[in-house]
Amino acid sequence: MAGSEVMELRRRTIVKSLVWRVIGVVWTWIGAYFIVLVVPPTQKNAPLIATLIVVYHHSTRMIMYYLYERYWTGVSWGKYDPRTSTFQPMSLKDKLMWILGTVIAIVSIFLLIVYIGPLVKK
C-alpha cells in the first residue's frame, strides 16, 4: 500500500522549505519588532524581551505551520504518482501565485532593509 501513495518531488520540497523560511523570518521579525515597541521602557531587559519573542514565535508558528501544510495539500504541483509514473506540472494559477508571492517577499525584504535598517543604527 505504501508504494501506491502520491509522493513529492524534491523541487516541491525545496520550494516549500524556502517559502516557509521566508515566511518565518518575516513573521518573527514583525513580532519581535512589535514586542520591542510594546514593552514599556522601564521593563525593557533582554531576558523579558527574549522570553516574549520565544513565546510569540512558537505559539503562533505552530498554527501557521498547520495552515501552511493544509494549503500545500491542495497544491497539485510537484506531486508524483508512482502508479502512473506522472507528475503534476505547475498550473497557471500556481505560477501566478508564485510570481505574486516572490514579488511580495522581495519588496518586503527591500522595505525592511531600506526603512528599518537606518533605525537600527540609532
What pLDDT does residue 1 have? 43
Tens of pLDDT, residue by residue over 13-62, are 898 998 899 888 888 888 888 888 888 888 888 889 999 999 999 899 88
Residue 87 main-chain phi, psi, to 5 deg: -130, 160
- Given a cut of 80, whether residue 115 has pLDDT beyond it is no
- Which domain, by its residues, includes 64? 2-89
- Count of domains for the chain: 1
For the chain, percent of residues with pLDDT exceeding 70: 91
Residue 100 lies in a domain: no
**Is residue 116 included in any domain, yes or no?**
no
5: Cβ contacts below 8 Å, ≥ 6 apart: 82
Residue 112 falls inside a structural domain: no
Question: DSSP letter string over 42-57?
Answer: GG--HHHHHHHHHHHH
Residue among 28, 34, 38, 36 at smallest CA distance from 61: 28
List pLDDT tens digits, range 49-91: 999 999 999 899 889 999 999 988 888 888 887 787 777 777 7
